[in-house]
Structure formats: C-alpha cells, structure tokens
Amino acid sequence: MIRSTVFVLSALLPIAALAQEESTALPAPIAALEDRGATVGETFEAPSGLTGYTVSFRGQTLAAYVTADQEHVLVGTLLDGDGTNLSAPVLSAAANADRPESEWDAVADAGWIADGSDDAERVIYAFTDPNCPYCSRFYQQSRDWVEAGAVQIRHVMVGVLREDSLAKAATLLAADDPSAALAAHEAAFDSGGVTPADPLPSASEQTVQSNNALMNRLGIRGTPSVYYRDAEGAIRLARGLPRGDRLEAVMGGPRPE
C-alpha cells in the first residue's frame, strides 16, 4: 500500500472547492485555480484515487492533486511512505514539455520591437530587459542570422532588473524607429545605453507593465527567455542565454556563412 503525504500551499487555494460551470471539462477546484490566475497544464496519474495536474502560478510550476470526489484540490509535494518525492519527476517533465499555442499567441500580442527583416522565414520572441547583460549578449550573437535575413527576433520589452529598466524599455518602444533605437541602445550598452525619456510616454509605460505581467503569468523569471519552434513545429522556451546547440535550435540552424 502506498502511503502519501501532500504538503499544501494554502495561500493558493482554500480546500473547499468553488462552483464550476457544467460546460467546462476541468474539475471545479482546478477551474477555481485557473480563475485565480493559475495556468493549468497537463493531467497525470497519481496514487490513492488522486488526479494530478501541473499548474503554473506566480512564477512557479506546481503539482495539484484533485480528490476522487473532485470536490477538493491539494497543491504541493506528494511523498510516499518512504519519503520519495512523487511530484518531482512530473514537474521536471513539465519544465521540458512543449509550450501551448496559447503562450505563443500571448507573446505575439505583446508589445515588442522587431529586429530583422519582416520577410524572414523564422520568427522568434525574446523577453528582453534593456539592462540585462545576457540579453545584450544574445542580441550580439544573433547578428549573423538576423543580418542574413533568416530570422526576425521580436523583443518583448520588459523592465524587471533595475529601477530604470521600465523607463528604458518604454523609451525604446516609443521611439520613432524602435528597431534603430534598440540597435543604438545595444551599441552603447556598456556605457548605459538609451537615456530614459522625460516625461515617459504613458502608453509605452503601460505596455511594458503589461509585458511584465505577462512574463509573470507565464512563469518566466529571467531574461532573456526565448520562445521558438523546433524542427517539428512544437513551441519551445529557452530560459537564459542560449549557447551552442541550443542557440542553433533557437535560430533554426547553423550560423550563416
């Protein structure tokens, strides 16, 4: 017999389930998590009559377990009688899984700056903070693909690293030629890059704030984080500066000669 323990994150959802519309396929407690801002992922088998779901909430991927009567949900780590963490393999697999089309659509609808030709066969999306040195390195190491016209990078501008990150991001978005402004910023990155506008354009400021919220909602903690499609067309997310084979996967092939 498997003996299991669930450590509950009670701040996420009270044990009592909330009402659910009959039209949704999700159990009521999982729908309640979704209503509270969680992104519901895949379902998986769990012991003792539980049904497991992966959920992303406030930058974390968590395991949620619905009781057999589908009236309650427990969120946290499931241990068996030997103390083995039964949630860890599931969460590890979720971290490396394909990303849903809804995430691609969300970043496509965000506020971004195009870097590269509109006729490029390949489009990728990168969450970019103007004060992020790794974002700057990604910008520089992507030049061969971009300048060859093979890839367009759409930089989803966020402001999360420093006090003036939001102002710099908003200034770049509001420029008459945002692509040229981003290039100038990267050329002067080591000396501080773009000088924030004064006053700051309110519409661009709101766009960056929305991008920040999107980044948090998708469970992305760092920059750069790059959405791309693999050779089979599945959506992938490269967290951090891609290097070596991962860089070629992100850019769609070897460096152009």
**What pLDDT, on the 0 to 100 scale, is given for residue 13?**
43
| 60-66, strands of its sheet edge to edge | 5-8, 73-79, 60-66, 51-57, 39-45
What's the rounded Cα separation, in Å, for the pair 79 and 6?
Answer: 7
**What pLDDT, on the 0 to 100 scale, is given for residue 233?**
94
Contacts of 28 (CB under 8 A, 6+ apart): 17, 18, 19, 20, 70, 71
> In CATH terms, is domain 5-95 a member of 3.10.450.70?
yes
- The CATH H-level superfamily of 101-251 is Glutaredoxin (3.40.30.10)
Q: Which tens digits make up the pLDDT trace of 200-217?
A: 999 999 999 999 999 988
Band of residue 6 on the pLDDT scale cut at 50, 70, 90: low
**What pLDDT, on the 0 to 100 scale, is given for residue 7?**
52
Higher-pLDDT residue of 134 and 37 is 134
Share of the chain above pLDDT 70, in %: 88
pTM of the model: 0.69
**What pLDDT, on the 0 to 100 scale, is given for residue 42?**
74
What's the rounded Cα separation, in Å, for the pair 224 and 242?
Answer: 9
> Would you give the distance in Å from CA 241 to the centre of its chain?
14
Q: Which tens digits make up the pLDDT trace of 235-246?
A: 999 888 999 999
* Local structure of 126: helix, strand or coil: strand
The mean pLDDT of 99-107, rounded to a whole number, is: 93
Spans of all domains in the chain: 5-95, 101-251
Let me know: does 229 contact 236? Beta carbons within 8 Å.
yes
Q: Which tens digits make up the pLDDT trace of 20-62?
A: 333 336 899 998 888 887 777 778 889 999 999 988 776 567 8
Q: Which tens digits make up the pLDDT trace of 142-201?
A: 999 999 999 999 999 999 999 999 999 999 999 999 999 999 999 999 999 999 999 999
